[in-house]
Chains A and B, each alone.
Chain A
Amino acid sequence: MLIAATIAIFVVMILAIIRGVVGPTLYDRILAVNMFGTKTVLLIALLGFVMGRPDFLDIAMVYALINFVSVIGVLHFSDSFEFSRSPHDGIQENGPAEKDS
């Protein structure tokens, strides 16, 4: 069962990569990368149990956090198309630099 679940997750990761390559808009690609990251977490946990070394779960935890930070970072980039705005601008102007949400 562990091997079957690992193979299923491999297939789903390949499908997510296909959607990320052919995705028509930017947000389809971000969605595919998000799904790929979640499936990576599950794959690492499953591989730890397949190899008999459950210490891999620490790496899976780190991957979950990296996935979240990467998705939010790319969304912030797509919101303003630049990373050049420093965080001190928003503090000095009391927040009008932020887009209305």
Chain B
Amino acid sequence: MDTVISISSAFCLLLGSFLCLTGGIGILRFPDFYTRMHAVGVSDTSAAGMILIGLMLQSPDGIVITKLVIILLMLLFINPAASHALAQAAMQHGLKPLLDKKESDKNNGHNETAHDRTPNEGRSLSNP
């Protein structure tokens, strides 16, 4: 029984580390703000859940498990709220998503203005 618990804990920790590294590579390599937000969302929810479940399996007594459950619930409530507020603020400030080539061929004028506007918005937001 002890080996089963330790093996499942190690599996959860390794899976959490892998998801964490995936999110870290995604926030560097993705081309757009919204795709980066997708990478961060995956890494924040799944990796945090996996690592905290792996710690719960190793914890010695009940109060530690309770604290870990509280931390997991707080992360699961707080991260979607912060991501939603961030995406809504970015959308209100006119940060357009990076669209595909085929989409921009389909309706030309609108997306050209969108592509032109994105760097200007970024520059004006960087030093207000």
| Complex contact A64–B78 (CB within 8 A) | yes
Q: In the complex, which residues of chain A have a beta carbon less than 8 angstroms from the beta carbon of B89?
A: 27, 75, 78-79
CB of B39 to closest CB in A, whole Å: 9
Given the contacts A18-B28, A39-B20, A57-B68, A27 and B74 also touching, CB distance less than 8 Å: no
Interface string of B19-50 (1 = CB under 8 A from A): 01101110110000100110010011001100
| Complex contact B14–A38 (CB within 8 A) | no
A sample of 12 more A-B contacts (CB under 8 A), given A24-B122, A34-B82, A79-B92, is: A4-B14, A4-B17, A9-B20, A9-B51, A16-B24, A31-B36, A35-B27, A41-B75, A54-B64, A57-B68, A61-B70, A71-B86
| Complex contact A27–B33 (CB within 8 A) | yes
Q: Check if B109 is an interface residue, CB within 8 A of chain A.
A: no
The size class of the interface chain A forms with chain B is 35 or more
Residues of chain A touching chain B, judged by Cβ–Cβ distance below 8 Å, are: 1-2, 4-5, 8-9, 11-12, 15-16, 18-19, 24-28, 30-32, 34-35, 38-39, 41-42, 45-46, 49, 54, 57-58, 60-61, 64-65, 67-68, 71-72, 75, 78-79, 81, 99, 101
Count B interface residues, CB 8 Å: 55
Q: At the interface, is chain A mostly helix, strand, loop or mixed? A: helix
Q: Could you count the A-B residue pairs with CB atoms below 8 Å apart for me: how many are there?
A: 146
CB of A35 to closest CB in B, whole Å: 5
Q: In the complex, which residues of chain B have a beta carbon less than 8 angstroms from the beta carbon of A49?
A: 55, 58-59
CB of A7 to closest CB in B, whole Å: 8
| Complex contact B17–A5 (CB within 8 A) | yes
User: Can you report 10 residue pairs joining A to B where beta carbons are below 8 Å apart?
Assistant: A1-B13, A4-B13, A5-B17, A11-B24, A25-B126, A28-B33, A31-B33, A38-B79, A42-B47, A49-B58
